[in-house]
A and B are shown apart, each in its own frame.
Chain A
Amino acid sequence: MTSTYIRNATWAPTGECFDIRLAPGHSQTVPELGNLTICDAEVMPAGQMNIPERARVIDATGKLILPALFDLHAKVEIEGRSKRESVTRTGQAAVQGGVWGMLVQPTSGFMFDNSSALDSFRDAVGQRSAAEMIPAGCISMGMKGEQQAPYNTLAARGITILSDAGERPGNLLMMHRAMKYVAELDMTLAIRGDVPSITANTCIQPGTTSYKLGLHGTPPCAEEIGIEIIVRLAQDAGCRLHVQSVSTAGGVEIIRRAKAAGARITAEVALHHLLFTHEDIGDYDTNYKTLPPLRDKADTEALLAGVKDGTIDCIVSDHTPCTPFAKKQDFPTAPQGMCLLDHFLPTLYTRLIKPGKLSWAELVRACCVNPCTLAVPDVMDPAEPEGMPLLLFDPEATITVCQDNLPCGTINTPLLGQTLYGSVTLPLQ
């Protein structure tokens, strides 16, 4: 069988060109690609590969290659759809958006607080998902924040990251004890900073928009105090902490300080917190209702600076499918959440890379290397690497976001009708 070759593709972070032979099952650590291990492909500097005359060759001149992305924060469950359909559609959305794998947050339909829930999820994922789906175990039973989930059972099933999917950390004593327990199991707790008694019944950043719309504001200090609390508790417990959904400039600063002091923490920002502010809510546009809420412009700038200097390790989608009806309700009633997964890489490219706000090297670090290191370390382990797949990106292509190109089937994205640059080929073929 003849192989397929991709000729003269540009490695996005450096601009160097490479030839690629598609080779399923082959993995290779490539020094020129930042020492990353690539799977299912053989990579050589352009012109050095011996390409047979009759081989199938794709000319990739002007197109970019980069490692496919890994999304550390996504919800898969789509209300009103079966588990299998939810998994299939989300997998399609991920791959279209350039994401080969994701850490799946527990939700009411995928409550990863017991082994049978994990089995049934893995069964649903089976051959149906185009993307890898790694479950995050629950921190507490039913994500209620009262009783610890069975961490040993979850660890035995391969769970390494625990999360209550951004639910407010209710009982801090329970949390502290959970941290001490999982420190012994070498698991990571993923938690969002919040003080529930301050943020109850709020849904928007306090400011001009909250005043104009008559909505209760979620003070940034509540998130910042919350981050300070979980960082201190995790340090005390000796537990690895991943701070989810950082949305404020103050939060970035707290994490920067804690990292400088040697804390074992990582942090993420949702893409929408880099792109939008509370002013985008306009006249109650519920597609902009997120958790935490969209903040000020100064926050988006501080978050982006945090990504660039490594304070914020990962950019995540925080993909949260909502039904059109749910989002048609009034702002206080509508659920929080946005779907940017279906066009994740084109959105990152159009809004951050193309305007020069983020470099490809920074994107690869925040959307691939760092999340993989956290969630799928085998992919990164130089001793016995499995490797990560490459994707091909055509920066000249354009797409106008519409219902037909949202495979997830949920339309709670403010990008509807907007034109994005770039198209993704994943897997390479």
Chain B
Amino acid sequence: MSTPKDLLTIESLSDADIRNILQGAAEMKQVFCSGKTHPALAGKSVLTLFYEPSTRTRSSFELAARRLQADVTTFSVATSSVVKGESVHDTIDTLMSMHMDYIIVRHKNSGIPAVIGRHAKASVINAGDGAHAHPSQAFLDAFTLQEKYGELTGKRVVIIGDILHSRVARSTSTILKRLGAEVAYMGPGPLVPLQKHTGIPRFTNWDSVFEWKPDVIYLLRVQNERMDTPFFPSADYHQAFGVTEERLKRIDALDLSIMHPGPVNRGVELCDNAMEYRNSLICNQVENGVAARMSILSYLTPRTQNND
């Protein structure tokens, strides 16, 4: 049985897919860390199509593709026909004529990668669409936690911040729950959807977070660019919802891990010292991002001609 063509969401994957990709990430990490390459994508073309600004995700994918010996093309939206009003369909038709095998797409609108996936024979990897999904982030998060804790069954992860606009929260909570972990959300009231809609416990203050006894504190960036009208009094954010020096001491005493998908707003989500905290997994996440993306790329099966 062939593996999936696209990676659009965690929900669309079977348990075996998740297990295989995570296992692959461990193998790819050895390749990556030893400075070698792997021929999984030799002769294949990979395109990164980012309609939204990104540095780490894009370079992580491009590095991963190169380590798999693929040809990598960067489609620059800012200088392309897209700014002249070309529709996504027409852009994809153009790109498919260039015989791309993998398209890695990021867009501000939820659901765009699915539209492209239906339309293109290439494997489409969702590198983040609106507030919908960011499955490669979910894999690198799960992989990072597995490295730290082994089995995730019963581990408790609280995701803190702007849940409403966060594709990371949706995808990472989904994969962690599939792996047996427990997830809770915490943040300012207007930014945390109701538990009856998410099925995930909802907190709005740190006291309830500590009472819940989490193993991991996962902080999200406040996405000001997605907030047309303010959702909360921003001057209060760090004191009310951030990891302050005082909270860091408590986190340290309880030996909890800290994660963040980056980029970090220092002084907002995290105080300065939290960046150097002994149990911070933030740099591991970045490193594992390349390994997880190598594994994802080598796992999918494009339906393009030169793959037959």
A–B pairs, 11, beta carbons within 8 Å: A208-B198, A214-B131, A215-B110, A215-B131, A284-B110, A328-B115, A329-B88, A330-B109, A330-B110, A331-B109, A332-B109
Output the residue of A201, A325, A331 with the most chain B CB within 10 A. A331
Query: When the two chains form their complex, are residues A211 and B167 in contact, meaning their CB atoms are under 8 A apart?
Result: no
State the majority secondary structure of interface residues on A.
loop
Query: When the two chains form their complex, are residues A332 and B111 in contact, meaning their CB atoms are under 8 A apart?
Result: yes
CB distance from A221 to the nearest CB of B (A): 14
Instruction: Give A contacts to B, CB under 8 Å.
Output: 200-201, 206-208, 210-216, 283-284, 325, 328-333
Query: When the two chains form their complex, are residues B115 and A329 in contact, meaning their CB atoms are under 8 A apart?
Result: yes
108-122 of chain B: CB within 8 A of chain A:
109-112, 114-115
Query: When the two chains form their complex, are residues B89 and A325 in contact, meaning their CB atoms are under 8 A apart?
Result: yes
Query: When the two chains form their complex, are residues A333 and B114 in contact, meaning their CB atoms are under 8 A apart?
Result: no
CB distance from A197 to the nearest CB of B (A): 8
Contacts A214-B129, A214-B170; A330 near B193 (Cβ below 8 A): no
Instruction: Pick the residue among A210, A213, A325 that contacts B111 (CB under 8 A).
Output: A213
> Is B225 part of the binding interface, using a Cβ–Cβ cutoff of 8 Å?
no
Closest to A208 in B: B197
> Is B133 part of the binding interface, using a Cβ–Cβ cutoff of 8 Å?
yes
Contacts A211-B197, A213-B132; A200 near B111 (Cβ below 8 A): no
Contacts A214-B170, A329-B87; A206 near B197 (Cβ below 8 A): yes
Contacts A283-B114, A330-B109, A330-B112; A214 near B87 (Cβ below 8 A): no
> Is B86 part of the binding interface, using a Cβ–Cβ cutoff of 8 Å?
no
Interface size on B, residues (CB 8 A): 22
> Is B189 part of the binding interface, using a Cβ–Cβ cutoff of 8 Å?
no
State the majority secondary structure of interface residues on B.
mixed
Contacts A210-B197, A211-B198, A214-B110; A330 near B115 (Cβ below 8 A): yes
Work out how many contacts link A and B, with CB atoms closer than 8 A. Answer: 59
Instruction: Pick the residue among B110, B115, B198 that contacts A213 (CB under 8 A).
Output: B110
- For B111, list chain A residues within 8 Å (CB): 213, 215, 284, 330-332
- For B112, list chain A residues within 8 Å (CB): 330
Output the residue of A200, A325, A328 with the most chain B CB within 10 A. A328
User: Roughly how many angstroms separate A329 CA and B118 CA in the complex, as a whole number?
Assistant: 11
User: Roughly how many angstroms separate A331 CA and B228 CA in the complex, as a whole number?
Assistant: 19
Taking A200-B228, A325-B89, A329-B88 as given, write out 15 further A-B residue pairs in contact, using a Cβ cutoff of 8 Å, ordered by the A residue number: A201-B228, A207-B197, A208-B198, A210-B197, A211-B193, A213-B110, A213-B111, A213-B132, A214-B131, A215-B111, A215-B131, A215-B132, A216-B131, A284-B110, A328-B115
- For A329, list chain B residues within 8 Å (CB): 87-89, 115
User: Roughly how many angstroms separate A215 CA and B110 CA in the complex, as a whole number?
Assistant: 7
Query: When the two chains form their complex, are residues B115 and A332 in contact, meaning their CB atoms are under 8 A apart?
Result: no
User: Roughly how many angstroms separate A201 CA and B228 CA in the complex, as a whole number?
Assistant: 9
Closest to B130 in A: A214
User: Roughly how many angstroms separate A190 CA and B169 CA in the complex, as a whole number?
Assistant: 42
CB distance from A168 to the nearest CB of B (A): 16
- For A333, list chain B residues within 8 Å (CB): 109
